[in-house]
A and B are shown apart, each in its own frame.
Chain A
Amino acid sequence: MKGITHFMTGVAVASFFGRAVEMAAERKSWILLLGGVYGIMADTLDFKIYSFFSRDDVVIDPDPLAPDASMVAAEIGRAIERAWDEDRLVKVKCHTIRLGADLWRQYVIKFDAALNEVVVVINPIVTTSQIPFLGTAPAENRVGRYRLGVPIVETHGRPTVVDIMNGPQIGFRKTGDRVLVEFIPFHRTWTHSFFTGLVAASAAALVASIAAGPGIGWYYGLVAVAAYWSHLVCDLTGYMGASFFWPFWKKRTPGLKWWKANDADSNFLFNYACLVAAIFNLNRFTWADPVRRVGHFIEASPLKYFLLALVIPVSAYLLLVRLFGRKGPEEKESEAIAEQAMRDEGGAELDGEFA
């Protein structure tokens, strides 16, 4: 799921702790803030700390003056074959091509499982805001293809766009009779485990014990661990899965594949459901006196509340999406430019999943 969804889920989970809500309302405690912070913490650790320490086996650094798409495609292709031959994870760092203070050369990498090839397209120059200067695409060596000698499986669902700042890392791992393409292979490993959640929450408990006394410190830890674990449960619904049982079992447990992590509708609905649940809980726990509760009618009939606030609006939303919503994933401008270049070159078009 997206960062905001993890954040909101953490808050919603924290709101189920009645004492935490009471502490917030009556003693101005910031305890519920832990819900949001710990809800997003696993991804924060991945992208803001661990990603920098993930080693690269192959580094791709195209020539800024004469970028050669064929050469980039071949280097990536050879890394895939190396992962097959050596039966291990091979990680490839794709550097960006910086041309000036605010200018970058964009390129797009597509893993075509159907044709079993890697396609690289050199796109126009872009600014740091990813604004393309149309007409600046190179005239030569713009599209490169590498026909793979081994079968691949791709789960990211989109071409990889390399343009500004820090380029992505792509991993290749032999899995069964294919090589699995893993976008950002450092993601969802040790940080996404129940054990790490426990350790991280212990830190919150320790700090809270020092600040507010051990009598209440453990409760902060409890809220934090629940929020952290909610992140893992959310990620379970996607495709990639995570190393939930690290360090005892380091392999990634596959997700339930209910929806893609970046799916706009499921993220929105998740966030909305979290908001509805949080309001329900704030109402239940804020005042001890039920008469003061603004929505004591909600408590009298939670079924009615969830029907009116959740079931009906969500059903209406899903109906609207079905009737008028987009039919496929949205295409970025960079992907569209690359696709056009592939068409112009006369090669295969992007398959249905990408187009």
Chain B
Amino acid sequence: MNIWLVVLYTLLGTAVSSLVSLMPALHIYNVAGIIIILTMGTGTSALIPMEYVPIFMMAMVVGWAILNTIPALFLGAPDESAIFVVLPGQKYMMQGRGYEAAALTGLGALAGIVAMAVATPVFFKALPKLRQLTRPHNFWIMGLIISYMLLSEWPKGSGRQKTGWGRFIDGWKNLAAGLLTFLLSGILGFIVLTKPLVPIRYAFQNIMPVFVGLFAIPWVIGNIFSRTEIPPQYVCRSADLPTGIWSRGGFAGFLGGMIAAFLPVVTGGIGGFIAGHVTAQRDDRLFIVSQGASKSVYYIGGFLMAFIPGLSRTRGGMAWMLRPFYQPHTYDDYWRIMGVIMLSGGVSFFLLLAYSRLMIRIINRVNYRALSVLMFFLLLAVTYAIGGPWGLALATVATAIGLIPVYFHSRRMNCMGVLLLPITLNMGGLGPSIARLLRLV
């Protein structure tokens, strides 16, 4: 394999994904398939020779994992794995430190990449065995994650009612809203996964309108109606990040990302949430770094698992797209792809800083509310383009569910019930009964 071509396709993949990452609602998996078909072509006309396709794909994943922070942070339009970045990110934005927050997530992503490289011997030795061991237990492990998500939510009533029952009902409003959100999104997930509503030609994009509705649109609507005024943003030249905070945040994020990459359906946000609880994080910087690390390890680590000899794990959309025509077997494949991750990660980090500066220039000049309105229509347009009218209808239903946590101050993560509930119950053998109960089959 020509080393210069490896570098070329790494840079090319990073560049392509950096453009996709800036577009809210678009996921790299939505466009990767199309890009790959266009670039591969057939026979000698192929733009990218077959052996370089995995390199190009990995670079796209790395670029996406690091750069999709930008729409989440600056435009308030997160995807399912970036929802936790938004809250502390907005806190930094309110203090004029949005650029610093972006840099911290980037530094977290780099910490995650370093941790993956360091953990390689563990990957080789332990992961194949752990996968074999946990395979029959995945359903209840997923059940544990769901249970902890729901049980760890805190009541948020005012406590001003005169009677105990009054306080109980008040306190349980947000808890009930959280449970309702999880249940409704779970039912929606059952419907979407059992009976796809979007036209058959868009079937592979089935879940995209749902995610946009559950996560991105409610946040943008919140920004529009809360009349958030973003103060002028300051572009700092250094970050207040001691090595201890960076390494602890990176470690926590790595753990979270690995949980997400290893278990089915669990996203980087949920993995980061669990790792955050396990490592008892308090510091905002540590939290942002850990979320950056978790998100990158989730996306990159999930795809990297396809390259670990003996693991035979296909995790994430990119791995599924690659599987039919490429099966890595050797340690050489693994180390080459690890090099690609490091190169692409480094380039993406500097692109993150450059794009953040660009975004700040826009935010400083344009009214944030007007930007949110524009974002709202952009989300609708992309959803329509990908899912057609049914996609818009699905996004509308999902938005209604996604707004519940916004207005009851419950966890937005409960919207992940859309995947967690149907897939966990299917894995536990209860899916068909539920589908029958819902008259879906």
Min CB distance A214 to B, Å, is: 23
Segment touching A, from B49-57, B147-155, B372-380:
B147-155
Of the residues B95, B133, B168, B274, contact of A282 by C-beta under 8 Å: B133
Min Cβ gap B145→A in Å is: 9
Contact with B along A7-49 (1 / 0, CB 8 A): 1100100000000000011101010110011001000100111
Q: Does B328 contact A (CB under 8 A)?
A: no
Q: A267's closest neighbor in chain B, by CB?
A: B280
Selected A-B contacts with CB under 8 Å, 12 pairs: A28-B139, A28-B429, A30-B428, A36-B144, A37-B147, A40-B151, A47-B155, A48-B171, A52-B171, A55-B164, A165-B409, A262-B280
Give the residue name and chain of the B residue nearest to A56 (CB): B159
| A4-B428 contact given A129-B90, A295-B133, CB 8 Å threshold | no
Given that A52-B168, A332-B282 are known contacts, is A3 also in contact with B140, CB under 8 Å in the complex? no
Contact B133 A4 (CB under 8 A): no
Q: Is the Cβ of A129 less than 8 Å from the Cβ of B137?
A: no
Q: Which of B181-220 touch A at CB < 8 Å?
A: none
Q: Interface residue tally of chain A, by bracket?
A: 35 or more
User: Do B137 and A166 touch across chains, with their CB atoms under 8 A apart?
Assistant: no
Min Cβ gap A235→B in Å is: 16
Query: Is residue A2 within 8 Å, beta carbon to beta carbon, of the partner chain?
Result: yes
Contact B244 A2 (CB under 8 A): no
Q: Is the beta-carbon distance between B137 and A24 smaller than 8 angstroms?
A: yes
Query: Which residues of chain A come closer than 8 Å to B147, judged between CB atoms?
Result: 7, 33, 36-37
Q: Which of B154, B164, B282 is in CB contact (< 8 Å) with A52?
A: B164
CB interface residues, A 279-306, toward B, < 8 Å: 279, 282-283, 286, 294-295
Contact A330 B282 (CB under 8 A): yes
Top 6 closest pairs, chain A to chain B, by CB: A53-B164, A264-B280, A166-B159, A4-B277, A52-B168, A165-B156
Known: A48-B175, A324-B247. 5 other contacts (CB 8 A): A53-B167, A93-B159, A165-B159, A264-B279, A325-B244
Write out, one digit per residue, whether chain A residues 87-123 have a CB within 8 A of any chain B CB (1) or not (0). Answer: 0000001011010001000000000000000000000
Residue of A28, A51, A102, A268 near B279 (CB, 8 A) is A268
CA distance A210 to B159 in the complex (A): 38
Query: B171 contacts A30, CB within 8 Å?
Result: no
B174 CB to closest chain A CB (Å) equals: 8
Q: Which residues of B contact A237 (CB under 8 A)?
A: none
Provided the pairs A7-B148, A52-B171, A264-B279 are in contact, do residues A286 and B137 lie with their beta carbons within 8 angstroms? yes
Q: Which of B95, B158, B164, B280 contacts A166 (CB 8 A)?
A: B158
Describe B's contact surface by its main secondary structure: helix
Is the beta-carbon distance between B277 and A2 smaller than 8 angstroms? yes
Residue A319 lies at the interface, judged by CB distance under 8 Å to chain B: no
* Chain B residue, CB-CB nearest to A96: B158
A3 to B143, CA, bound (A): 17
CA distance in complex: A36, B409 (Å) = 25
Bound state CA distance, A11 and B91, in angstroms? Answer: 36
- Which of A25, A98, A262 gathers the greatest number of chain B CB atoms within 10 Å? A25
B residues 248-281 touching A (CB-CB < 8 Å): 274, 277-281
Contact partners of A62 in chain B: CB under 8 A: none
Pairwise interchain contact A267-B157, C-beta atoms closer than 8 A? no
**Known: A3-B277, A268-B279, A271-B278. Contact between A25 and B136, CB under 8 A?**
yes
Closest-CB distance, A217 to chain B (whole angstroms): 18
Q: Which residues of A contact B136 (CB under 8 A)?
A: 24-26, 286
B2 / chain A contacts, CB cutoff of 8 Å: none
Contact status A131-B94, CB under 8 Å: yes
Write out the residue numbers on chain A whose beta carbons fall within 8 Å of the beta carbon of B94.
127, 131, 133
The smallest beta-carbon distance between A271 and chain B, in angstroms, is 5
CA distance A45 to B6 in the complex (A): 57
Please, how many angstroms separate the alpha-carbon atoms of A44 and B152 in the complex? 8
Please state if B278 and A279 are interface contacts (CB–CB under 8 Å).
no
Q: Is the CB of A128 closer than 8 A to any CB of chain B? A: yes
B240: interface (CB < 8 Å): no
Which residues 283-301 of B sit at the A interface, judged by CB distance below 8 A? 283-284
In the complex, B87 has a CB within 8 A of chain A: yes
The CA-CA distance from A286 to B133 in the complex, in Å, is 8
Q: Given A36-B148, A131-B94, A286-B133, A28 and B282 touching (CB < 8 A)?
A: no
CB distance from A316 to the nearest CB of B (A): 12
CB distance from A231 to the nearest CB of B (A): 13
A93–B279 alpha-carbon span in the complex (Å): 31
B266 to chain A, nearest CB (A): 15
Q: What's the Cα separation between A3 and B150 when bound, in Å?
A: 12
Q: Is A326 an interface residue (CB 8 A)?
A: yes
Q: How far is the CB of B36 from chain A (nearest CB, A)?
A: 35
A167 at the interface (CB under 8 A from B): yes
CB-based contact B143/A30 at 8 Å: yes
B154 / chain A contacts, CB cutoff of 8 Å: 47
CB-nearest residue of chain B to A164: B156
CA gap between A326 and B242 in the complex, in Å: 11
CB distance from A328 to the nearest CB of B (A): 13
In the complex, B130 has a CB within 8 A of chain A: yes
Given A165-B156, A282-B133, residue A33 in contact with residue B144 (CB < 8 A)? yes
* A134 shortest CB reach to chain B, Å: 8
Contacting B158 at CB < 8 Å: which of A98, A129, A282, A326? Answer: A98
Per-position 1/0 for B426-441, Cβ under 8 A of A: 0011000000000000
A267-B280, A294-B133, A325-B244 known; A166-B171 Cβ under 8 A? yes
B280, A167: Cβ atoms under 8 Å? no
Which residues of chain A (121-140) have a CB below 8 Å from chain B? 127-129, 131, 133-134
Q: Which residues of B contact A166 (CB under 8 A)?
A: 155-159, 171
Asked if B133 and A283 sit within 8 Å, CB to CB, the answer is yes
Find A24's partner among B140, B164, B226 (CB 8 Å cutoff). B140
Interface digits, B399-429 against A, CB 8 Å rule (1 contact, 0 not)? Answer: 0000000000100000000000000000011
